[in-house]
């Protein structure tokens, strides 16, 4: 599979700000994006209810809409706060919820459900890694019973309670030891631990550059022999704040870790240095693509305060920025010749398929007005 451009659906604007999934998908297709990580929030909004029947019907509608626009659904995400729950009755409830998610994913015709590491309070998440491994193995085994097999992509969040570094995430994936349980590597969450510290005067960790070099060396060494375990990759940067994110800062939230508050408000697309991007994302992507040899979906998972804006123009602005970021990434990494047709997708609009897609986009946008 060649490199293909994807984006998370919520990265084109939040549903609670009035941005419909139809509009977001049409703008993604218009700007050459080929794949969508379907954010559960968007599915609920599109379905009009979170009842199982509504979600399944909504999933069928989303699948048909994506098909009409030439979009593939990369995954359904995020299945949050699952592993290591101290409350085992709640764990059983979550397993039942996962069974519904599997049905939804099948209707969507995707074979990946993404699971981010839990960031519940410490008293709600066990420190016993054996329990965490067992919980994740449990859902992996559920997926193995399906045909086609359902896969699970585990991702370490930079503020995760028990798992917050890619090494810890990879250790979990290795110990779960199931063919359908792999890793999602996110440039932001990797660098949020080893390079960035939004609370410091420099907004960097003490030995940031050294940490990145050594971490990427380990990543290549450990993951390259098992690169099929990388189920997909997320690539984004983030804004260097003018002031440390401490009490008194506009993004400070006493109920959130600083890295989480920074993430929710300040992520940027790759290459957006004019907007303050400062993370060494290129080093991470180079390690994953050029050295490990990963090929597949490269998704832009943006979180930014602009997504909360009710301005409908925001959706197309974000889709356009994502496409421009992708072009820059291709140029910087030198894999223009090895990518899929994302960049040429809109150049081929004179073909029958392109004309059909343009017609669907026009119909969606007219209906929205």
pLDDT confidence bin for 361, thresholds 50/70/90: confident
Is 154:112 a contact under the CB 8 Å cutoff?
Answer: no
Tokens of 179: 């063919």
Q: How many Cα atoms within 13 Å fall on the side-chain side of residue 218?
A: 14
Across the chain, what does the average pLDDT equal?
93
The mean per-residue pLDDT over the stretch 359-365 comes to 70
- Confidence check: pLDDT of 368 > 80: no
Is 309:270 a contact under the CB 8 Å cutoff?
Answer: no
Q: Determine what percent of the chain is predicted with pLDDT higher than 70.
A: 92
Q: What is the pLDDT, as a whole number, of residue 340?
A: 45
- Tell me the C-alpha to C-alpha distance, in Å, between residue 225 and each of 120, 216, 220, 230: 33, 15, 9, 11
- Confidence check: pLDDT of 155 > 80: yes
pTM to 2 decimal places: 0.92
The mean per-residue pLDDT over the stretch 32-56 comes to 98
Is 34:342 a contact under the CB 8 Å cutoff?
Answer: yes
User: Is 124 strand, coil or helix?
Assistant: helix
- Confidence check: pLDDT of 338 > 50: no
Q: What is the pLDDT, as a whole number, of residue 339?
A: 43
- Confidence check: pLDDT of 337 > 60: no
pLDDT confidence bin for 334, thresholds 50/70/90: confident
Tokens of 327: 């072009």
Domains of the chain: 4-368 (3.20.20.150)
Beta-carbon contacts of 194 under 8 Å, excluding residues fewer than 6 positions away, are 165, 205, 208, 211, 212, 215
User: Is 7 strand, coil or helix?
Assistant: strand
Beta-bridge mates of residue 182: 153
Is 299:247 a contact under the CB 8 Å cutoff?
Answer: no
pLDDT confidence bin for 355, thresholds 50/70/90: low
Other CB atoms within 10 Å distance of the CB of residue 56: 17
User: Is 314 strand, coil or helix?
Assistant: helix
Residue 122: is it exposed, middle or buried by C-beta count within 10 angstroms (0-12/13-18/19+)?
A: exposed
Q: What is the pLDDT, as a whole number, of residue 342?
A: 45
- Tell me phi and psi for residue 186, to 5 degrees: -115, 120
Is 63:109 a contact under the CB 8 Å cutoff?
Answer: yes
pLDDT digits (tens, 9 = 90+) for 217-228: 999 999 999 999
Is 31:323 a contact under the CB 8 Å cutoff?
Answer: yes
DSSP E strand boundaries for 163-303:
181-186, 230-234, 237-238, 267-268, 297-300
Q: Distance between CA 316 and CA 306 in Å, rounded?
A: 12
pLDDT confidence bin for 358, thresholds 50/70/90: confident
- Residue entry with tokens 């019907």: 57
pLDDT confidence bin for 201, thresholds 50/70/90: very high
Q: What is the pLDDT, as a whole number, of residue 357?
A: 72
Tokens of 284: 């991470």
- Confidence check: pLDDT of 127 > 50: yes
């Amino acid at each position: 599979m060649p490199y293909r451009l994807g984006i998370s659906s919520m990265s084109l604007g939040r549903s609670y700000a009035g941005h419909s999934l139809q509009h977001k998908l049409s703008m993604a297709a218009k700007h050459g994006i080929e794949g969508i990580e379907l954010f559960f929030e968007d599915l609920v909004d599109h379905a009009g209810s979170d009842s199982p029947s509504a979600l399944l019907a909504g999933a069928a509608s989303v699948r048909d809409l994506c098909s009409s626009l030439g979009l593939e659904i990369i995954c359904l995400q995020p299945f949050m706060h699952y592993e290591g729950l101290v409350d085992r009755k709640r764990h059983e409830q979550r397993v039942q919820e996962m069974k519904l998610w599997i049905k939804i994913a099948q209707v969507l015709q995707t074979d990946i459900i993404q699971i981010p590491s839990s960031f519940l309070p410490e008293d709600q998440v066990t420190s016993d890694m054996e329990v965490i491994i067992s919980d994740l193995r449990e859902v992996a085994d559920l997926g193995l019973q399906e045909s086609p097999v359902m896969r699970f992509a585990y991702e370490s969040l930079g503020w995760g309670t028990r798992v917050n570094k890619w090494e810890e995430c990879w250790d979990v994936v290795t110990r779960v030891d199931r063919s359908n349980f792999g890793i999602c590597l996110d440039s932001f969450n990797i660098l949020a631990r080893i390079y960035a510290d939004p609370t410091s005067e420099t907004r960097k960790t003490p030995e940031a550059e050294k940490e990145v070099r050594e971490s990427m060396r380990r990543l290549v060494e450990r993951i390259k022999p098992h690169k099929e375990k990388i189920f997909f990759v997320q690539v984004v940067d983030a804004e260097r704040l003018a002031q440390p994110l401490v009490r008194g800062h506009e993004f400070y939230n006493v109920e959130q870790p600083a890295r989480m508050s920074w993430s929710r408000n300040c992520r940027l697309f790759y290459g957006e240095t004019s907007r303050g991007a400062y993370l060494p994302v290129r080093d991470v992507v180079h390690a994953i693509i050029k050295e490990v040899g990963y090929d597949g979906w490269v998704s832009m998972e943006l979180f930014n305060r602009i997504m909360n804006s009710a301005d409908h123009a925001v959706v197309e602005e974000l889709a356009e920025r994502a496409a421009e970021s992708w072009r820059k990434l291709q140029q910087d990494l030198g894999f223009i010749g090895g990518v899929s047709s994302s960049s040429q997708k809109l150049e081929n609009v004179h073909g029958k398929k392109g004309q059909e897609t343009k017609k669907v986009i026009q119909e969606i946008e007219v209906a929205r007005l």
